[in-house]
Structure formats: C-alpha cells, structure tokens
Chains A and B, each alone.
Chain A
Amino acid sequence: MTEDATIVEPGEERESFEELVKHTHSANELDTSAPPVLTVENLRMYFPIKTSLMRRTVGHVQAVDGVSFVVPKGGALGLVGESGCGKSTTGQLITRLYKPTGGSMTFEGHDLASISNREMKPLRRDVQMIFQDPYSSLNPRHTVGSIVGAPLRVHDVVPKNKTLSRVQELLEVVGLNPEHYNRYPNEFSGGQRQRIGIARALALQPKLMVADEPVSALDVSIQAQVINLLQDLQREFDIAFLFIAHDLAVVRHFCPEVAVMYLGKIVEIGDRESIYANAHHPYTQALLSAVPDVKQAATGGRRERIRLTGDVPSPIDPPSGCRFRTRCPIAQEICARHEPPLLQIGKRHKVACHFPGRLGEHPREPLTARLLGVDASGQPDPGASPATDLVEQPGYADTWFDLDGKTIGRA
C-alpha cells in the first residue's frame, strides 16, 4: 500500500488517473469504539512575563487555559484556530517541549504533565512530532540517513549494523528513494523534506503523532501528496494523530473529530458533522464562513459571510467572561460577566457559548443562565440553583442538553 505513494520521477513509467485515484483516500472516518490513547484534562500553560531589571513577574501569557480533549487510538483529533489561539503550544506541551503549568495529560497510564524529563525519555518513543517548516527542522549538515537514523540510535532500538537497512525501509515507506540515504536535505524539495521529517517521526513506531501544520509550508499540489501519505501511515501503523492546522478544509479531510480553539480555550469540539455542518459557536461559524470557496465560482462574487472585526485580543490580558465576546456578533451583557461552560449539546458535540445555536438561530436568552445561577444579564439570581457539575471533562457523557427539544438527550 505505502510504496504506492512514491513520487514518480519524471521520465519513469507513470500511473493512469484511475490508478492514481486508487492510491488516494477520502476523508478519515470516526471509530467511536476506539479507546483513548491520550486524555488531556484541564491543561494550562502560563508563560510568565518578567521585567527587565529585577526579573519580577508582572503578568502571564495565558497561552493554554484549561483545555480538555481525548485522542482515540489510531484516530485523529484536529486542533484549529487562528494564530495565537494556543494550538501549537498545546502540541508542544504534549511532546513535553514545555512542562505545563497545570492539568494532566494521560498517555498509556502515565501523566505526561507531571513526570520528570527522565521518566519522559522512554515515552518519547511513543509520542513523536512532525514540524511545519521542512527547511529549518532538518539539520543541513547531516545526511538523510543520519537524520532518520538518529532516533534509532538514541533509543537503541535496532542493532548498529541494522540501522541502515531500517533507515532505507523507512525512506521507502514515506515514498523516497532508499538509495538516497547519503544525501543532504538541501538536495530535496520541500515536499520530500517533509517526507524525511515524517520518516524520522516514524522511526520509533510511535503511537501518537503531533503534527503541527504539517502541510502549510508546501505547495498546493504537494500538500495532497503528504496528506495521503499520512493517511496511509495512520492506517498501516495504527497511529493516532493530534493534527494542528489553521486550514479548516485539510483538517476536515484528515480529522473525524475537531476542536476549535480561541485565545487558549476550546470553544467548540465535536465530530466532523457537528463542527462543519452543525456549528453552534459564533466563532466556529465565522471561521467556516471566512474560508474562500472554489464552488463560489459557479455563481460569481463573494458569499455573505459573518464578518469579524478587529484582531484577536492579547492573551496577556484576555477579555473577562467569554474571551470571544469582543469580536462576537451576538454578545450580550452576560458574556462579559461569566465565562460560558463547555456544554455538551449532542452525542459528540460540546460548545462554550451562552447563546449556542445554528447560524441565524441563536437564542435570545442565555441558555446557560440557570446553570450558572444568574439571570439573563448575568447578575446573580437568588432564585436559581447553579449546577455543580460544570467542570470540563475530556470525552463525552452519555447524556446531554438537547437544544432543539430543550430536553436531556441520551445516547
């Protein structure tokens, strides 16, 4: 299966369109029965801001602030959002490039958030990362063989005399010529370099790959090659992906489940259908409507869209209450006073909004007021009894709040 992804060199005998199609994939599908491989709960990362002279901490960049999600075994969770939303930091926390400020990340019975760097070392084999920039993430002075072989040597997984043959095997798997192991990265194109990075990540047969914008630096025609390769590998080796990208369409194709982040928080999370066809958060809706659509060519001109004004606020001093309220088209008083809880509103769909609803059908009254024990404007309501179980849980509960019927839904 995998060697079919090999780049056909110009001049070689080539495959017909039907054969080409056979080696590609349609969108990945969700397997709801898969057990979790990674469970992240209330993950937080605050970077301190220090003054120059006294090194006194004067504030924090709340890069990630209470994020919870589950990555199923062999599955893929997409993390989308605009720059500065904390999606890349989340990925870096999972590979423990930083030690998180708080929360837990349970992987194979270990909490990656609290173990020491030494305890982390054996686990690094199982959690690998693919980087965005195929130019700066490969050492230009090392041969491809030594780049791909480095993790094998560091973790001592194959005997020294077998390293080369394993490296060649890996190069073949990612569609590169195995004879090219002694070449240097600058002899390869961007797409081929990204394949080298993937081969390196693959060397230790990880269970989880964190792919941070793996295709955004590549030419359009090459992006599809790499996505298909990742799909091949995922199926063959049963690797779970945390797929971080700003390109909503690519994420939709690769990830059966998606979390949308804004200013360090997840605002909406759910399966593909819930996010792309049934988004209930105004930010998700705005993101989706902002993506230019090729099909628009049929009618000409631009679609009606939700126009967000201004820029993302600073994560040093995020807005009170709901962090999206400063750019939100439907924000009301309560949004400044209370942070909306991430409510489950479908079997696999959660949204953090006081006024969740389909586009144009957002309710007038905050649905969350009763749960929070406040009135519609967010003032304390002595008559209401706040719900106590609003703590965010990773994964989904069996019961949820059905918005259409205003009842409790059940799986």
Chain B
Amino acid sequence: MFSFLVKRILSGSLIVVLVSVMIYALFWYGPKSPALELCRRDTNNRCTPAKLVEFEDRLGYSNPIYEEYGKWAKGLVADRTIIHGTSEYDCPAPCLGISYRDKSLVTDQFKERFPVTVSLAVGASALYLLIGVTVGVLAARRRGSVADKALVASTLVFSSIPYYLVALLSFLILTLSTSVFPEAKYVPFLDDPLAWFSGLLLVWLVMGLYGATAYTRYSRGSMVEALGEDYVRTARAKGLRMRTVVTKHALRSALVPVITIFGLDVAFLLSGTVFTEKIFSLEGIGKWGIDAVNIKDLPVVQATTLVLAVSVVVMNIIVDIVYSILDPRVRLA
C-alpha cells in the first residue's frame, strides 16, 4: 500500500508537471500570442508593432520560456513579486500568477470559485450514482421485461438530447417562467447549509438526472453480467433470499466497472462544468476557465488545467484504492 501510494503520487506529479509545461508552451509558441490579444484590447485594435513589443516585455514573453516557467513554478512554493511593466504585484505562495485581465491574484480567484464547482460535483455525482445504480439494478433484475425495455429506450432518448438544451430548458421553465425553483445561487455550506442546499438543488437535479441515464445503462449492463456469474448461481443454491443474492453477491461485483467510470467522471466535474455554470450563472472553475481561454489569459488557463490534471490523478488513485477494497484479488503494488 505504501509503495503503491509513493509510486502513484510520484508518477501523478510528473503528469501534472508535464501538463503545465505543455500549456505554457502552447501559449508561448501558439499562433496568436496573449501579448497581441492584450495589446489589441488595450489599444482599441490599434496595436502597433512597437506597442506589441512593449506588451511582450511587460508580460515576460520576450524572455526565454524556461525562465518564465521557472518563475511561475517557483511561485507555487515561494512568495513572488510579479512585475508587469511599471506595476508590481505581491503574490504570496502558493502563487499561480495574476490574471492578465484584471490583475487579480489567480490563487484568490481559485479559492473563491473552487468550492462552487466542488459543491456542484459532489451533489450531482452522488445523485446520478444513486439513481443510476438503483434503476440499473432494478432493470437488470427484470431484464427483457416491458419495463426494462421501456427504461432502456427512454434513457437513450433522454441522453441523446444535448445536455445544454436540457439545462437551458430546465432553467427557462422551472426558474424563469414558473419559479418552481428559485434562481440558482451559491451560498457557502458553512455559512448556511440550508441555503447552500436549496440554492443548488435544481442544478443538482438537472445534472444528476441527466448523468443518471448513462449510469443506468452502465450498471444495468454490469449487473446483468454479474447475475449470470457462477457464484450468483451458487449463492442461490445455498438458499439465500434473492434480495441478498442481488445486493450482497451480484451488486458488489457489478459496482467495480461502474466505480472506474465514476472516478473519471468526478474528476471532470471537479475541473468545471462549463454549460451548467454558464446557464445557471454560477461562478465556478469551468466558466472562469472558458472566459480566460477567450482572452488568452494564460495564468488562469494554466490554473484551471492544473485542476483537471490533479483531479484526474487523484481520482485515479482513489478509484484504485476503492477497487482493491471491493476486490481482494487486486493488490496495490
């Protein structure tokens, strides 16, 4: 277990570093540099070559890439002072740089926005896992029946509607026209748990129900397979109740593949849900990142990408640990 963790954390860190280097390089050598973008914006599209050089100097693009990357990376562990032309900005560690747009500290922004995204991810994923697996198991038990076929068909229909349409319609109908649900807003859980819950309920339901369709199909398939296993026949031959056979013997094996997909899904949720945040006007990581990409705000893009990389790495480790708990044949090494 210990050697597993060491190994996985080391290899995970390597992945995170590589991703950050790649993003940096992409901006550095990309077709339109962020300096040009900023220059145009600040000069009302009258960016002269001289102006551009000035902007490049100011943002550090005239220095070698490794020097700038080094400064950025050092900022993760040590306080640094960022100089943009004549202005200086104090950036205490862990420093992720400052936004090109409004010169705000990326770290501060992150601290403000990440809880929103985490709240969305936790609520939505819990909901779709619970609904998806429950419905999937029930369908698998009645495989081939009319109810099962209708269910499979309806999940297919539902999940072939684009997600943003479902989210947008829900917002328009349930919040704007009928006010069944209040307008979505984020209140920190610690400030007011009830407001946190009611503020996000609609968003969770939309994300959860939509996601549950896929999980219904995964868990149904995996459950059908598990119910056909020899050890399930053995469990029945022992005289166990069908309920025990299903929950204790079949479900535990059926969950293993579902958990793998679930882990990766959660990782992607943690890195932001762009449509959801945009439609329901929630200030999370996804909206932040997409806005930053539009204006080539490198430090912000860098930060949001790192969130994704770290979540994927961490969730993978967690999935492997859960895996080894579920299946004793899997030895972490």
Q: B residues within 8 A CB of A16? A: none
Query: Is A52 an interface position by the 8 A CB rule?
Result: yes
Interface string of B34-66 (1 = CB under 8 A from A): 000000000000000000000000000000000
Beta-carbon nearest neighbor of B333 in chain A: A52
Q: A residues within 8 A CB of B3? A: 52-53
Q: Report A23-66 residues with CB < 8 Å from chain B CB.
A: 52-53
Indicate the size class of the contact surface on chain B.
under 10
Query: Is B252 an interface position by the 8 A CB rule?
Result: no
Interface string of B193-216 (1 = CB under 8 A from A): 000000000000000000000000
Give Cα A52–Cα B8 distance, bound, in whole angstroms.
12
Q: B residues within 8 A CB of A53? A: 3, 6-7, 333
Give Cα A53–Cα B4 distance, bound, in whole angstroms.
8
Beta-carbon nearest neighbor of B332 in chain A: A52
Q: How many residues of A contact B (CB 8 A)?
A: 2
* Least Cβ–Cβ distance between B323 and chain A, in angstroms: 16
Q: A residues within 8 A CB of B6? A: 53
* Least Cβ–Cβ distance between B236 and chain A, in angstroms: 27
Beta-carbon nearest neighbor of B2 in chain A: A53
Q: Report A128-161 residues with CB < 8 Å from chain B CB.
A: none
Interface string of B255-289 (1 = CB under 8 A from A): 00000000000000000000000000000000000
Q: Report B1-43 residues with CB < 8 Å from chain A CB.
A: 3-4, 6-7
Give Cα A52–Cα B4 distance, bound, in whole angstroms.
9
Give Cα A164–Cα B253 distance, bound, in whole angstroms.
47
Give Cα A283–Cα B7 distance, bound, in whole angstroms.
46
Give Cα A137–Cα B3 distance, bound, in whole angstroms.
38
Give Cα A53–Cα B3 distance, bound, in whole angstroms.
7
* Least Cβ–Cβ distance between B320 and chain A, in angstroms: 13
* Least Cβ–Cβ distance between A170 and chain B, in angstroms: 37
Give Cα A52–Cα B7 distance, bound, in whole angstroms.
10
Give Cα A52–Cα B3 distance, bound, in whole angstroms.
9
Give Cα A247–Cα B7 distance, bound, in whole angstroms.
46
Beta-carbon nearest neighbor of A54 in chain B: B3
Q: B residues within 8 A CB of A52? A: 3-4, 7, 333
* Least Cβ–Cβ distance between B73 and chain A, in angstroms: 27
* Least Cβ–Cβ distance between B134 and chain A, in angstroms: 35
* Least Cβ–Cβ distance between A244 and chain B, in angstroms: 28
Interface string of B286-329 (1 = CB under 8 A from A): 00000000000000000000000000000000000000000000
Beta-carbon nearest neighbor of B6 in chain A: A53
Give Cα A53–Cα B333 distance, bound, in whole angstroms.
7
Give Cα A52–Cα B5 distance, bound, in whole angstroms.
12
Beta-carbon nearest neighbor of B7 in chain A: A53
Q: A residues within 8 A CB of B333? A: 52-53
A-B contact pairs, 7 of them (CB 8 A): A52-B3, A52-B4, A52-B7, A52-B333, A53-B3, A53-B6, A53-B7
B residues adjacent to A (C-beta < 8 A): 3-4, 6-7, 333
A residues adjacent to B (C-beta < 8 A): 52-53
Other CB < 8 Å A-B pairs besides A52-B7, A53-B6, 6 of them?
A: A52-B3, A52-B4, A52-B333, A53-B3, A53-B7, A53-B333
List the 8 closest A-B pairs by CB distance, nearest first: A52-B333, A53-B3, A53-B7, A52-B3, A52-B7, A53-B6, A53-B333, A52-B4
